[in-house]
């Protein structure tokens, strides 16, 4: 019989859903580092402590100028990410659900609902639920 290897548990970041080793390449790097420091201080010390930074600098082959450019690029990506999140939140807060009644033929009409997608509602399942509830067709 073959021996079973023990299961490994992998730590995932609650901010970017990646392993902490990859958080430094994500736009939300500072938030990830703060989360790691608050929840797992030992892992934070291994990845972002003084010894870890010195080791990374020793392995780095980039010149200081290129490192500064990379840091600026990461800061810009983080700012863009935060701005995108703020825009999405603003769109969500300012959006409305619109219900319209459209006439088809003489006495027939269709009801349309706009704006549900902004609130994260699954449109396909909602259409099916409306169709069952109101005993009509829905798409």
| pLDDT tens digits for range 69-121 | 888 888 888 888 889 888 888 877 787 888 898 888 888 888 888 888 877 78
Cβ-proximal residues to 37 (8 Å cutoff; 6+ apart), any chain = 44, 48
C-beta separation of 100 from 117 below 8 A = no
- Whether residue 34 has pLDDT greater than 80: yes
Closest CA to 29 of 68, 64, 67, 81: 81
φ, ψ dihedrals at 110, nearest 5°: -125, 140
42 or 71: which leads in pLDDT: 42
Say what the pTM is. Answer: 0.43
Query: What are the C-alpha distances in Å from 110 to residues 77, 105, 116, 128?
Result: 45, 10, 17, 16
Which tens digits make up the pLDDT trace of 12-25?
988 888 888 888 88
pLDDT at 2: 64
Give pLDDT, residue 59. 66
DSSP strand pairing (98-103 vs 109-114): antiparallel
Mean pLDDT within 119-130 = 85
> In the structure, what pLDDT confidence band is assigned to residue 62 with cuts at 50, 70 and 90?
low
At residue 5, the pLDDT reads 84
């Amino acid at each position: 019989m073959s021996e079973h290897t023990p299961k490994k548990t992998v730590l995932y970041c609650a901010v970017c859903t990646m392993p902490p080793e990859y958080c430094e390449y994500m736009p939300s790097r500072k938030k990830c580092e703060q989360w790691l420091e608050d929840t797992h201080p030992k892992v934070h010390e291994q990845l972002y402590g003084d010894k870890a930074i010195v080791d990374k600098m020793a392995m780095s082959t980039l010149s200081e100028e290129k490192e500064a450019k990379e840091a600026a690029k990461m800061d810009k990506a983080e700012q863009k990410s935060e701005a995108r999140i703020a825009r999405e939140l603003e769109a969500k807060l300012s959006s409305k659900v619109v219900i319209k009644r459209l006439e088809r033929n003489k006495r027939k009409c269709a009801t349309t609902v706009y704006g549900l997608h902004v609130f994260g509602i699954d449109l396909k399942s909602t259409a099916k639920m409306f169709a069952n509830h109101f005993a009509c067709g829905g798409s």
